[in-house]
Each structure stands twice: as C-alpha cells, then as structure tokens.
Structure 1
Amino acid sequence: MATHFTRAERDWVMYDVGNSALVLLNTSVVPIYFNALASEAADSASLVAQWGLAQTVASLIVALLMPILGSLADFKGNKIKFFIGFFGAGLVACFAQAIPMSAALFLAVYVVATVGLNSSMTFYDAMLVDVTDDERMDDVSSAGFAWGYIGSTIPFVLCIALIFLGPALLGLDTMLCTQMSFVITGIWWLCFTVPLVCSYKQVHYKEGTGAGSEIAKTFRNLAGTMRDIVRDKKLFLFLVAFFFYIDGVHTVISMATSYGASLGIDSTQLILALLVTQFVAFPSAIVYGRLADKHGTLTMILVAVVAYCAIVLFASFFLKTDVEFWVLAVMVGLFQGGIQALSRSYFGKIVPKDKANEYFGFYDIFGRYASVMGTFLVSVITTLTGFAELGVLSIGILLVVGLVFLLRVIKLDAAERGEHAAA
C-alpha cells in the first residue's frame, strides 16, 4: 500500500481487505456449497432461482433499513455504533454457516450474514468523507477496491487449499473443510476490522439532543435531501443511471458461480477463474483511475457499462466450457473495480460538500435497491422459462437502461463545461 496514506486512510482501506474476503467466498464457494446441500431436492435451474431469491431478500432488507439508519448515523457518534452492530451480526452469521444444517436453514443464515456485511459497507462508504479530503478521495477510494481484491485472495487461497487438499492430506471430509472456510474468513474479516474501529473519528456530523430529536430530524432531512436531489438534474440522472447499471454489475458478480455451476462447469475451474478475476481487478482498478484522469471519469464509466453489456451477451450465448468461463472472469476483472470506484468518486465530486454524508447515504440506498432488481429478474426469468441463459440475458436490460441515462448525464456535463469555458 502507498506509504503516503495517513493512518486513518490505511485503516479505512484495510476494512475493504477484510470484508472482500467474505464477498469473494460468497461469490465462489458458498453457491457451490449450497448446491451440494440442495442438489438432491432441486434441479439446476431451481438452484439458480433459489440463490437469486436469497440475494434479493438480503438486498431488500438492507435497502429498507438504510434510508432511516443511514441518516441516523450522521448524528455525532452514531456512525461507528451502527457499523459495529451490523459488522458484529454479519460476523456471527459468517461463523454460524460453519455449523452443519439443511439447505433452507443455511440460506436463512446466509441472508443474515449478507445483510450484516452489506449494511456495514454502507456505513463504511460514508466514513470516506471523515478519513480523507476531496483531493485524496479518488486515490483512497480506488485503493480500497484495489487492495480489497488482492488482499481477499490470501484467505481465499487458504480456504481453497483446505477444501481440495484437506481430504487427501488431512483425512477430512470435503464438506467439513468447506465449513471451516467460513471460520477462516470470519477471523480474517475481524482482524482487518479492528484497526478501523480503533482509529476512526467521525469528523462530519449533525448535532442531536436525544433519540427522539434525532429521529424527527432524520425524517425532515431525508425529505429535504430528496427534494434537492430531484431538483439537481445532473445529479438525479446520474443516480438513476447508477441505479440501473450498478445492478447489472452486482448481479453478474453475485450470480456468476451459480450460473457456471448450472452449466456443468467443474467447481474447481469456477473457483480458480474467479481467483484470476481478483488478480486482474487489482491493477485494473488502479489503472482505470489513472485513465479517468486523462479521459474523464464519465467517459471511463461509459466504457465499463458498454463492456458489461458485452459480458452479458457473451455469458448468455457463448459461455459453455471451462475456458470460456475463464475468459468471462478476466473480462469482469478488467472493469469491475473501475466502474465501482469511479462511480463513487464522481458522485463525491458533484454533491454539495456540506451535505456529503446525507448524499452518500442516498448513493448507497440507490445501490442497495438496485441489487434487488437484477437477482430477482434472473430468478423470475429462469423459473418461468427453465433456461438460466435467458435469466442472465435479462441483466442486459438493466445495463442498457443505465447506459441511456448515463449518456444524458454526459451531455449535461459537457454543456456545463462549455458554459464555464464561455464564461
């Protein structure tokens, strides 16, 4: 990691290293483990649909909670409390997944772990304005994604080695080795969270006089901020574009392994390919930030959205073999970190600086609500047609809609730049 980062910035980035380990486990090992638990009771299309439904439920819970809790967290001292609470709940559920249980119960525990993880990340995103300044925000934000990708591979490789070598070298059952991976990942997550909890200071906050007063102010602030967002045409259109295109990105990430397994691709190949995604994403996220400096943030976001449209088409019509899944993994790795980091950075540039916390709260709300649509769409289309390929193809609808709105944002941004240049 760059030595010029302050302690607060380093500790903030380190949390991404910790939570990304669970994200990687959830997108690789967990779907395969769930398929093994439920394979006798359901066909491949049904497994994809059930997994998509679980993702939808988890995202919906987060989306319903965050509008209120996110605004409450803006009051002095609250942000770290909410962060620790959801992190703790997610950590306990992560460890609980190591306990042998039925497929249905496992999905329920998985939902709790995912809610805890994603909610903690909402407060984590809002901490960015407290740990750094505007000039360094792009670098710190990109470093979070980049180091998260590469750092998460360490416990992941350990877990994979245990799963595939444990039975032969240690005489352990494969299912037991898989269950132990939840413990390893949970410990990793905990270790990289402690520094942030110890060093974090909430710099930007609202003053509150008590719980009742804070709740009342929360509802008033939410209503006022919503009106301000709608009145700012460029900001509103960007949020709508983000709402759709980031859903496509998240859905591709969350459903990739489950979809690959349904096509009969070997689980070893699925996991190794996703590991390659992490290594590709590490330098790509950093390079993508530098390209944004040269060609413009919106331009590079546009390139990534178009690339994801191509990725969805490739997955729907051409993905049949192990090699093709590896190609898909590399393609995702090239654009995954860049589109996430630059979306967060661009939003930070166009919001009112004195209300950054509230606006970032809405940014995360849009992202969480978006996570509901894609997985739900894949689940429904797959169930109705019986073809997982058509379910994956439906993700393209979200990306195209996001692309249309993004082009309008680019047009408005160019017009504003022209007006400033003329002035």
Structure 2
Amino acid sequence: MGTGTVRTAAADEAAERRREQRGWYVYDWACSVYSTSVLTVFLGPYLTSVAEEAADADGFVHPLGVPVRAGSFFAYSVSLSVIVAVLVMPLVGAAADRSGRKKPLLGAAAYVGAGATAGMFFLDGERYLLGGLLLIVANAAQSVAMMLYNSYLPQIAAPEERDAVSSRGWAFGYAAGALVLVANLVLYLAHDSFGLSESMAVRICLASAGLWWGAFALIPLRRLRDRRAPAREGATAPGPRRLAATLRDMRRHPLTLGFLLAYLVYNDGIQTVISQASVYGSEELDLEQSTLIGAVLLVQVLAVAGALALGRLARTYGAKRTVLGSLAAWTAVLAAGYFLPAGEPVWFFVLAAGIGLVLGGSQALSRSLFSHLVPPGKEAEYFSAYEISDRGMSWLGPLLFGLTYQLTGSYREAILSLVAFFLLGFVLLARVPVRRAIGDAGNPVPEKI
C-alpha cells in the first residue's frame, strides 16, 4: 500500500470521526432541555400542585394505598426513578458492550424518555399518578441514554481530542437548555397574552421538551456508528449482580476506581449546590421566584462559555490540573455565598455567574478524564457505574445540607458545609496518578492529561 493511499485512508477516517463527533454533540443539544426546563424549573412545582389538588383533607395522596404527603410526591418520584435507573443501567451497559449495538439501545432509551416527557401534556386535574409515572419513566430513560451517550466518547475521539470534544458536548447542551428555557419563560410569563391558562402554558412547556428531545435525537442516531465487540460471560446477569460484577472488575483497575471515588465525592457537592441554591436564595436571601429563574438562565448561558474555556485550559495544563482548579473555584464560590446579603439579587446573580463558569467545565473534563481510564471494550459498562455515581449516589450532600440546617437553623451554615465535598474531592483526585492509571487501563497516554 502506497504512502498516498495510507494518507487518504487516514484523512477519511478523521473526517468520519469528525462527522460522528458533530452528531454526538447534537444529542446533548436534544436531551439537555429535559433537565433544564422539565426537572429544574417546571415539573416540580406543577406536579406538586396537581398532587395537592388530589390530596385529602389532611394533605395526603394515596398511590397504591400508601399515604404520601402531597408536597413530597415529586421528591419520592425522583428517588424512585433513580432506583429504576440504577437497576437498568448495568444491564443495558453490559448488553451494549457485549453486542456492540449501542445505537439501537440509545434510540430506544431516548424515545422512551422523549415520549414520556411529551405525554406530560396530559398532566392536569388530579392526575398526579400519571405525572409520577411519566417522571419515573422519563428520568430513568434519560439516565440510561446518557450512560450510552457518554460511552461513545472514547470511541469517537482520539485521546488528545477528548477534553475538547467532551467540553463542546456540554456546551451544546447548556446552549440548548438556555434557548428553550427563554422561549418557555416567555410563554409562561405572558400566558394571558397568548390566551392560555397558567396550567396549559406549563403543560406546553413540558411537552415541548419531549418533542425537542425526540426531533433532534434523529441526528446523532443517523451519524453515530455501532462497533461490534466480543461476547463476555455474565453480561445477562440481573442489574444488581451486573453492577457488582462491574465493580469487581474495577478492582483490577484500582486507580480507575480511585478516580471514580473522587468524582463521586465532588460531584455530590456539585449536584447539591445545583439542587439547593434556589432554596438558599428563597429562604435565606428572600429572593423572588423570577430572580431565581433568571439565575438558572444565567447559569445555563455562562456554562457554555465555562465549558469551552476550561476545555481550552485543559489543552495547556491538562484535564486533571484544570479539574483541580475548578474544585478550588467551587470552594471559593461557596465561601462567597456564605456572605451574600439578603434581599439584594445582584449579588445572587454574581454567585450564579461563578457557578455557571465552573459548572460545565468541571463536568465535561471529568467525563473526558474518566474516558481515558476505561479498559477498551468495556465503555458502556464502566460508564454505567460513572452515571450511577453522577445520578444515583448524590444523596450525602443533601443529607449534610439538611442536617446542618436542622442543627444550626441557618442556611448559610448549610451551604458552607458543602465545602467539605470539594476539599475532600480535591485531595482524592490529587492522589490519583492519572498517567499510570491510563496505562494500567490499556490506553495510550495523551501528551497533556
């Protein structure tokens, strides 16, 4: 084979890889609207109001005969969706690696989630059970789909490309979330001008997220390619056994497991800040709902710039150092949040800006860093454990936040307590010899990592 033929083949391979990468970015563009508009902004308050409409005189609903306070129904539904996802993800991940057919599984998970989200249009009156069921299905499907989506990263990006590719994916997701959230807020805040009731406006916002998800998912499903892998024993075991088998396999790669532990700790802090920031703003700082929604939008917009900026920094300083720097920045943001004056939204927006700038980059670079530590042929299986760490294990932070508030009666003390997750995560990540971990996993070591 001549030199020219080799160069042509290499150029064709690079062009095909870039085509897949562009399709891969679009899936984040498709599904992130669900996380932003549905989970973060609209569904919680609306489903709670539907449950309260159906509640008895004591404020309880009775799903399957179990008394549940209406105000807790949304939280319990989210928790149940996480349990379902934890059971299903290891099974699907092992099946994807065994068969090499990730794309059909990704398509199935995406359209189950998008269909359930679009079905939220019919959530009205006292149909709280329908809302809970659709939330459980959509949230679990989103987790499964994201696990499969993430597992494509080591296959579509060369080692030196992954930080940039991962960062662009996060940036696409945050950009879509901001764009659709703006449209939804216009519809919601001006629903009278459009001749809509508030309930109908919310239902349209919920359903539109499902339609957006389903429509744009077509692009990655056309561009991503399946890669067959040899079968492995035990891949059809039940979910808990499959997860246990994956963790046992990780014991042969203790440095990979060490990174996952560090990620579990600091990501718990990140997820708790995201979920509790609005509580801190409303209860401690006496801010209006419109201010809190505006802050969510600001985070979405600045997370795009933050993801891209930290991706560029990683090219110079390496992903590990950049993530460590982002954890130091998270610590500084929380320390500043402790001193925010009440009743002054400008300073809360400054805090939101700080969160946005470090949020996307810390998540994107953590994903790309982990992709280097996954043994070849086990991408989906290992990313199921990563996704469980991301979505299924983030309970210690809220618990510490709640306990601190219970003991001190101060949300300021509660928000400051979360610094522990970033400090411990920093120490654990700093102790992981990333270059040796990549080599031990059987992967080439990038020049900058």
| TM class by smaller structure | 0.7 to 0.9
Cα offset for 1:343?
0.7
Correspondence for 2:103 among 71, 76, 80: 80
**Aligned equivalents of 1:54, 1:393: Cα separation in 2:** 28
**Secondary structure in structure 2 of the residue aligned to 1:166:** coil
The residue aligned with 2:40 is 27
**Aligned equivalents of 1:217, 1:395: Cα separation in 2:** 35
**Secondary structure in structure 2 of the residue aligned to 1:203:** coil
**Aligned equivalents of 2:40, 2:27: Cα separation in 1:** 18
TM-score w.r.t. length of structure 1: 0.83
Q: Structure 1 residues 354 and 205 mapped into 2: Cα distance closer, same or farther (>3 Å)? A: closer
Mapped contact 1:49–1:383 kept (Cα < 8 A): no
Letter matched to residue 96 of structure 1 = G
Higher helix share: 1
Mapped contact 1:48–1:258 kept (Cα < 8 A): no
Mapped contact 1:31–1:258 kept (Cα < 8 A): no
The residue aligned with 1:282 is 304
Amino-acid identity (%): 29
Letter matched to residue 154 of structure 2 = V
Correspondence for 2:270 among 249, 267, 280: 249
Q: Structure 1 residues 229 and 213 mapped into 2: Cα distance closer, same or farther (>3 Å)? A: closer
Mapped contact 1:50–1:379 kept (Cα < 8 A): no
Letter matched to residue 94 of structure 1 = T
The residue aligned with 1:229 is 250
> Highest relative contact order (Cα 8 Å, sep 6+), 1 or 2?
1
**Secondary structure in structure 1 of the residue aligned to 2:258:** helix
Correspondence for 2:149 among 124, 145, 153: 124
Letter matched to residue 331 of structure 2 = C
TM-score w.r.t. length of structure 2: 0.78
**Secondary structure in structure 2 of the residue aligned to 1:311:** helix
Cα offset for 1:75?
2.2
Correspondence for 1:9 among 1, 7, 21: 21
Cα offset for 1:195?
1.3
**Aligned equivalents of 1:265, 1:103: Cα separation in 2:** 31
The residue aligned with 1:182 is 206
Mapped contact 2:306–2:357 kept (Cα < 8 A): yes
Cα offset for 1:74?
1.2
**Aligned equivalents of 1:276, 1:270: Cα separation in 2:** 10
Kindly name which structure, 1 or 2, has the bigger radius of gyration based on alpha carbons: 2
Instruction: Deviation per CA, 1:157-183: give whole Å up to 9, x if none.
Output: 11111011221x223222221221012
Cα offset for 1:367?
2.3
**Aligned equivalents of 1:216, 1:93: Cα separation in 2:** 27
Mapped contact 1:37–1:102 kept (Cα < 8 A): yes
Q: Structure 1 residues 58 and 29 mapped into 2: Cα distance closer, same or farther (>3 Å)? A: same
**Residue 197 (1) aligns with residue 204 (2):** no
Mapped contact 2:91–2:238 kept (Cα < 8 A): no
**Aligned equivalents of 1:191, 1:139: Cα separation in 2:** 26
**Aligned equivalents of 1:368, 1:282: Cα separation in 2:** 21
Letter matched to residue 81 of structure 1 = P
Mapped contact 1:52–1:378 kept (Cα < 8 A): no
Q: Structure 1 residues 204 and 240 mapped into 2: Cα distance closer, same or farther (>3 Å)? A: farther
**Aligned equivalents of 1:219, 1:174: Cα separation in 2:** 42
The residue aligned with 1:61 is 84
Matched pairs, number? 408
**Aligned equivalents of 1:49, 1:316: Cα separation in 2:** 28
Instruction: Deviation per CA, 1:151-207: give whole Å up to 9, x if none.
Output: 22222211111011221x223222221221012211111111011222322125333
**Aligned equivalents of 1:135, 1:337: Cα separation in 2:** 19
The residue aligned with 1:143 is 168
User: Matches of residues 12-411 of structure 1 in structure 2 within 5 Å?
Assistant: 12-25=24-37, 26-34=39-47, 53-76=76-99, 78-98=101-121, 99-102=123-126, 105=129, 106-167=131-192, 169-207=193-231, 214-215=235-236, 225-263=246-284, 264-315=286-337, 318=340, 320-321=342-343, 322-378=345-401, 392-409=415-432
Mapped contact 1:56–1:371 kept (Cα < 8 A): no
Instruction: Deviation per CA, 1:76-108: give whole Å up to 9, x if none.
Output: 254233323322232232123332144954455
**Secondary structure in structure 2 of the residue aligned to 1:75:** helix
Cα offset for 1:324?
3.0
User: Structure 2: 5+ residue runs without aligned partners?
Assistant: 1-14, 60-68, 439-444
Instruction: Deviation per CA, 1:31-87: give whole Å up to 9, x if none.
Output: 443565578988xxx999766554443333322322232212212254233323322
**Aligned equivalents of 1:77, 1:347: Cα separation in 2:** 20
Cα offset for 1:359?
2.9
**Aligned equivalents of 1:305, 1:115: Cα separation in 2:** 28
Cα offset for 1:384?
7.8
Letter matched to residue 325 of structure 2 = V
Letter matched to residue 73 of structure 1 = A
Letter matched to residue 278 of structure 2 = T
**Aligned equivalents of 1:163, 1:217: Cα separation in 2:** 43
Cα offset for 1:265?
2.2
User: Structure 1: 5+ residue runs without aligned partners?
Assistant: none
Q: Structure 1 residues 319 and 406 mapped into 2: Cα distance closer, same or farther (>3 Å)? A: farther
**Secondary structure in structure 2 of the residue aligned to 1:193:** helix
**Aligned equivalents of 1:348, 1:38: Cα separation in 2:** 41
Letter matched to residue 306 of structure 1 = A
Q: Structure 1 residues 276 and 164 mapped into 2: Cα distance closer, same or farther (>3 Å)? A: same
Instruction: Deviation per CA, 1:365-389: give whole Å up to 9, x if none.
Output: 3323323433455466667877655
